[in-house]
Amino acid sequence: MGNCCSGDVAGGRQAVGGAATSVGTGATGRSDAVDAVDHFLKSRGGFRRPCSQIELSLSASNLLNRDMLSKSDPMTVIYAKRKDGTLEEIGRTEVILNSLNPMWVVKIGVTYYFEVVQHLVFQVYDIDTQFHSVPVKMLKLDEQQFLGEASCALSQIVTKRTRSLTLNLERREHNGPPDSRNLGQLTVLAEEYAGSKITAEMIFRCSDLENKDLFSKSDPFLVISKVTENGVWIPICKTEVRKNDLNPIWKPVVLNLQQIGSKDNLLSIDCFNFNSNGKHDLIGKVVKPLSELEKLHYSKHGEHLFFPTAVGNDLQNKVLKSQLFVERFVESKRLTFLDYIANGCELNFMIAIDFTASNGNPRLPDSLHYIDPSGRLNAYQRAILEVGEVLQFYDSDKRFPAWGFGARPIDGPVSHCFNLNGSTYQSEVEGIQGVMSAYISALHNVSLAGPTLFGPVINTAALIASQSVESSQQKYFVLLIVTDGVITDLQETKDALVRASDLPLSILIVGVGGADFKEMEILDADKGEKIESLSGRVASRDIVQFVPMRDVQGDQESVIHALLAELPGQFLTYMQSRDIQPLS
């Protein structure tokens, strides 16, 4: 994934970058969910999310011949299917003359987002001879002969070892049954744009910063922005906050060429003094391209910060005593999330559901567990469905361990980790619908109780992850916990998280209802609090992400997808810290 990595404390979420831009000849199709996630991350203090640029190559075989005296002249149009079912065109191939087995040369660029299911639709047309001199972008499709249509999710392509997927073309007439004829096949190959992998790792240092605080020293952090073609600056990365430090040195940040476009494109490095109210003071800034930052490193010289100052109607730059140094600059080619996924590494989905009494009587409409006869999903069902729909593409057998906690099964004591399907020995269910069915069934077979304990389900998930490590499998596990309450085993949960931080495991927590979730924020170490066990051991990495579903009014989907957006970064942190390479 194309991202910028740095620790982030004192009120800011880790900022990861990658503007949504097109590559190749096609435009980028952005879904409603993509826009919603961007809005959500910005509202929580983040910037752009990780993404990868993908080039799609198309070929077809055994197309239907619609010409009398020659073969068809095919062209393919690619669409992104939006949440409301409408299609947004993102690119067209060229026209291949006289061929039923075309291999198109033009590649179509799309931006891949892990956290969103990106549905693509491919429509193949035979272009009439009289239109061959018309540029493909100007062709009116209703004047061409329709050969067939295929669709898939982008995730279905990028998770294949060959990074290609062959689809049968279909044709429907006025929403009727599909054409029974063999209309041919369309093969889609997805290749990650090379710029996604070339990165520059830098360590920045400043000296003699101006003190902006009255009773202590400044708390500086850096924000790195790029300039767009229309002159607008877009933040793409930020460092952590250094407390009470006028000569700070920050943790490494990583930028890739995908984010900035070129080493000669200008970057603005703004140094701010952190304020808890969100109104950060600009201390000074440096504007230079990446190529000049590289020269600063090798020269060992600093660059003076400047402060933009209004003088009358003009803006002048006041040069400051403060200087910016580039302590480290290393350009390299890095493995990406898709490198692992396309070579057989899997994400295994697990889920744990809160059945404590604070959810309310499931038979009453005001309960968080109420199953609406109209089919309207409750918050638990939405979280299961929306997270599961994304992760299912990365789990080959689609068998998901599913547990409940905080309830009393029939004729038994309160359990804080019981199999959702009612089985004594087997916790796995078949697919997302299997999870949904097991959840509804459990509501009829358990009595809601309490208290709310996370430790047992985390330890159970960690045991499965540890067994995978022992057998040298290339698997990474994702535990989704959906809860309504305040946990009562905070220290035990911290102990479990510290142990689990060494394993291939991430934990996603979704808070539903109106409870006070302050303790969940403690478990999510984005604000700089260290997760420490009772013995004093600190978690080796942050493996928890938490969101309350009420954070974005009327758009729960963006909450869930924003939760998933950080997962590829956690995955890469684990793999790289242990020097685990993708299977060849």
What's the pLDDT score for residue 439? 97
Burial of 249 (0-12, 13-18, 19+ CB in 10 A): middle
534: left (phi over 0), alpha (psi -120 to 50) or beta: alpha
Angle among Cα 342, 345, 349 to the nearest 5 degrees reads 115
How crowded is residue 107: how many other Cβ atoms within 10 Å of its Cβ?
Answer: 19
Q: What is the full DSSP assignment across 308-331?
A: EEEETTEEEEEEEEEEEEEEEEEE
What's the pLDDT score for residue 126? 95
Choose among 279, 358, 384: nearest CA to 517. 358
Token pair belonging to 448: 């809601």
Tokens 């596990």 locate to: 477
Angle among Cα 369, 394, 83 to the nearest 5 degrees reads 60
What's the pLDDT score for residue 67? 66
Question: What is the C-alpha to C-alpha distance for residues 240 and 166, in angstroms, rounded to an integer?
Answer: 45
Q: What sign does the dihedral 378-379-382-383 (CA atoms) show?
A: negative
DSSP state of 526: G
Question: What is the C-alpha to C-alpha distance for residues 132 and 380, in angstroms, rounded to an integer?
Answer: 54
Angle among Cα 23, 565, 476 to the nearest 5 degrees reads 105
Give the bridge partners for 476, in sequence order: 347
Choose among 169, 187, 95: nearest CA to 132. 95
**Local structure of 575: helix, strand or coil:** helix
Burial of 129 (0-12, 13-18, 19+ CB in 10 A): exposed
What's the pLDDT score for residue 528? 59
What's the pLDDT score for residue 164? 95
Question: Phi and psi for 438 in degrees, rounded to 5?
Answer: -65, -35
Question: What is the C-alpha to C-alpha distance for residues 213 and 244, in angstroms, rounded to an integer?
Answer: 9
Distances (CA, A) of 174 to 30, 77, 570: 28, 20, 46
Spans in the chain with pLDDT lower than 70? 1-50, 67-69, 172-180, 311-312, 525-528, 550-558
What's the pLDDT score for residue 232? 84
Question: What is the C-alpha to C-alpha distance for residues 58 and 94, in angstroms, rounded to an integer?
Answer: 11
CA 270 from centre of chain: 26
What's the pLDDT score for residue 17? 26
Token pair belonging to 194: 């090379």
**Local structure of 389: helix, strand or coil:** helix
Question: Phi and psi for 553 in degrees, rounded to 5?
Answer: -65, 125
What's the pLDDT score for residue 34? 52
The single-letter code of the amino acid at 389 is E
Q: What is the full DSSP assignment across 212-251?
A: --SSS---EEEEEEEE-TTS-EEEEEE-PPPTT-SS-BPP
| Cβ-proximal residues to 250 (8 Å cutoff; 6+ apart), any chain | 6, 203, 204, 205, 221, 222, 239, 240, 242
Question: What is the C-alpha to C-alpha distance for residues 33 and 20, in angstroms, rounded to an integer?
Answer: 13
How crowded is residue 45: how many other Cβ atoms within 10 Å of its Cβ?
Answer: 16
Question: What is the C-alpha to C-alpha distance for residues 114 and 572, in angstroms, rounded to an integer?
Answer: 13
DSSP state of 441: H
- b/e code 538-556 from CB counts within 10 Å (16+ = b): ebbebbbbbbbbebbeebb
